[in-house]
Structure 1
Amino acid sequence: MHVGRERTVYRPCDDRAPRQQPTPARPAAPALWASALALESAGDCPAAARTARHAAAELRATAGHHDAPGALICDGFAELADGTVERALQALEAGITWAERESTPFWLATALALSGRAELIRSRLPRAATRLWHAHALAARLDSDDPYLPPRTVLAADLAEALARTGSARRAAEVLAEARRNTARGTDQPALDRAAATVRTTQGSPRAAAGELRRSLATGRQSPLERGRGHAALGWMERRARRKAAARNAFEEALVHFTAAGCRPWLLRTRVDLADLDGSTRPLSAVERAVLARVTEGASNREIARTVHLSVKAVEANLTRLYRRYAVTSRLELAQVLRNPRADAATET
């Protein structure tokens, strides 16, 4: 008997249909999305990005068009994991628009949470706080056990950080207290510890906050990504405490962990923080001291320009340099730092 490929000829009068080969099962987009979230939580950002892009392709195939909200949001997640913040925000903004138009609260909450995190990376804190607050409120109305939502504790930690750094430390503390009540000790708890230390820093105790965060990091319970975020936050706290050597060490440690996690946006952000730190060791100029003095008095940019004999644009340029020097993003944060008696002390190297 000859065993091999048989040739079948179908004649026009033959009404029997040819046997169809079974189509390989396509991976379900929800499972791919849940896998992407799990990979990011585990600290493998490149794999999370690849899986999210696969989920986006599946969602587009199902929807039959490119602008499916879930696909756009998966694109944004992928960029936020292993791409650029700018492309992430572009995809997420489009995703938010479509999710609102199609009334899909799950994808809307997810897009707002990711967009808020992207704004945190860019240090656009008021916008981050707004986006994260809306995501937090929307997520609270969804199933708390839904494995397809980003981790609630990470969302709460991001929101608390944005609130604290925009002058709402009390509200930030309330968000963290609620998150701790609803979360057992587990893999996401370090994110809450990081956010709590951020809140304490904005309340005027950066050294104590840095000590608390160091103890949390010493437990080793964090993924590479969370360890990177923890050390980056520690660098910011040490900088607020005017301990530049400790800040540099923390930022450099953050680089190690972000590199291990393969998370490009946080890696680039930390490199900027290190460059800013190295540029802040020079003494304050007479003009900068004058601008600081007027800021503490509550003067506007026009009032400062008039009394210090500068243009308004020159005042804005000086304030930008001072914000970077003191690791702040607003006048309120700058005033808090200046109330620290060590704020004008000699810089440590």
Structure 2
Amino acid sequence: MAKLVQFDRLGGPEVLTLRDVESRAPGAGEVRIRVDAIGLNRAEIMYREGAYFYQPVFPSTLGYEAAGVVEATGEGVTDLAEGDLVAVVPAFLQTEYGTYGESVVLPASAVVPRPANVDATTAAAVWMAYTTAYGPLVESGRVRPGDHVLITAASSSVGLAAIQIARHIGAIPIATTRGAGKKQRLLDAGAADVIVTDDEDLPARIEEITGGEGVRLAFDPIAGPGVETIAQGIAPGGHLVVYGALDPRTTPLPNAQSFPALNSSTYTLFEITSDPERLRRAVAFVNAGLASGSFTPVVDKTFDLADIAEAHRYMEANGQVGKIVVTVTHDDTTS
């Protein structure tokens, strides 16, 4: 038996229940891992509420990220073995698999080795954030050394990862935050400049920072009408990449009569994680950065698995800078 978080109806954090369930053997192409830490994501809140792009099948578990140790492998799995230190990449549907538990079965294609010098809490904070930022900043080839990159809602785990990746490839990250309270923390995290959107005019500040050139790429999880303001700060021929929908209002396509010509697109990390070759490159890139110390995930706060509902409430309060991680204690802990 192992503890697993499940829910039977849509709703707030209170619907999450920690239950004892029977552990199962992994099937063909699957592995079972003992979970030591779980990374939380807003996608899981949306999934729990019924606002995600697919609906739960009850009773449902949830969770995209974790780190731990391989307990068993299924038929056909040859690149992972019992005892391997691993992390979990978001590369599956939560209707089929989840990471919120003490011991979970996952597709082997979503389980990757982690560097020996990276502990479980750090590894659980990596893959959603860094893979999401890797796609538009690295895999696409759109960002070059010396380019300015606008990173909105930059205090999120993805935003902080994007700052580090931009710095790593020689680009110049400009971060935004609504209030001044997070400005210094974003500067400390590596942002070249921080624009406080409640107090400052975004296009004007971008023009000032870039010397009138604009940003080569804007990386935005908010969407909604605000993209029209962002578009005013993008260089001609630059890119607006929307990777989230924090603003539920309709997102307009920037008007070519009002702004310089630009390329506008949506993006999800599944473009990387569902393609084996792209995922191989992403894993190599991120693990190299972790091993060298260039990438250091920011963990805002940790919770125990028994406090999973409280961890979701904390995320919903929107006060964190970086990742929220849930740790799992085992009687025979070795991680």
- TM-score normalised according to structure 1 size: 0.26
Pick 1 or 2: higher relative contact order, CA cutoff 8 A, min separation 6: 2
User: Is the helix fraction higher in 1 or 2?
Assistant: 1
- TM-score normalised according to structure 2 size: 0.27
User: Is the strand fraction higher in 1 or 2?
Assistant: 2
